[in-house]
Amino acid sequence: MNALIRAATVCGFSAILAVGAGNAALADDLLYALKIGVLAHDVPDLWSGFQVEHNAADINIEAQFAAAWALPWGAIRPVVGGTINTRGDTSHAYIDARWQGDLPSGIFFGVGLGAAIHDGETGGAGSDPDMKWLGSRVLFHIPLEVGYHIDAHNDLSVYFEHTSNAYTQKYNEGLDRIGVRYGYRF
């Protein structure tokens, strides 16, 4: 499952990059932004409250699509992405609806809700006690982002993501990641 999630995330993102690099007009019509970042894995004392998995860097890659539902102070866009753990612990791929608001100062805020599929433990007999027990294979994905538009195309941000099953299953240890991302807007 781990290799499947990593392969799907990398292949999907590579296809999006190829479309963007091969046809700028198509990228402008299809994509709003591409993002890449480094996140700290299973950070304690955040939403989940405790750490079980190893300290490690996670690589986050994401595509935000141009189709948007405009709202006051921002827009909601579809997003696909993935976060790959560099030590072999829990990785996931996700799809979200993401609201982003942009201030005239260049500061932006984002919040979303979606679903993630992961390769970690679900819990119970036979589950690894050195990994978070997430209760189900499909989880809620809740991202938060605060950043700055450097210019018309480049962004830097602090990004947080939480995955859990929201207590719909017996086990729900949840997993938090936080770090920095670079974004390129089309």
For 137-176, the pLDDT digits (tens) are 999 999 999 999 999 999 999 999 999 999 999 999 999 9
List CB contacts of 155: < 8 A, sequence separation 6 or more. Answer: 33, 35, 108, 147, 148, 149, 181, 182, 183, 184, 185
pLDDT at 29: 79
pLDDT at 113: 98
Rounded to whole angstroms, the Cα distance separating 107 from 109 reads: 7
CATH (domain of 20)? 2.40.160.20
25: pLDDT confidence band, cut at 50, 70 and 90? low
Domain ranges, residue 67: 2-185
72: pLDDT confidence band, cut at 50, 70 and 90? confident
What is residue 172's three-state secondary structure?
coil
The values of phi and psi at residue 31, to 5°, are -115, 145
- Determine the straight-line distance between the first and last CA of the chain, rounded to whole angstroms: 33
| Total of domains in the chain | 1
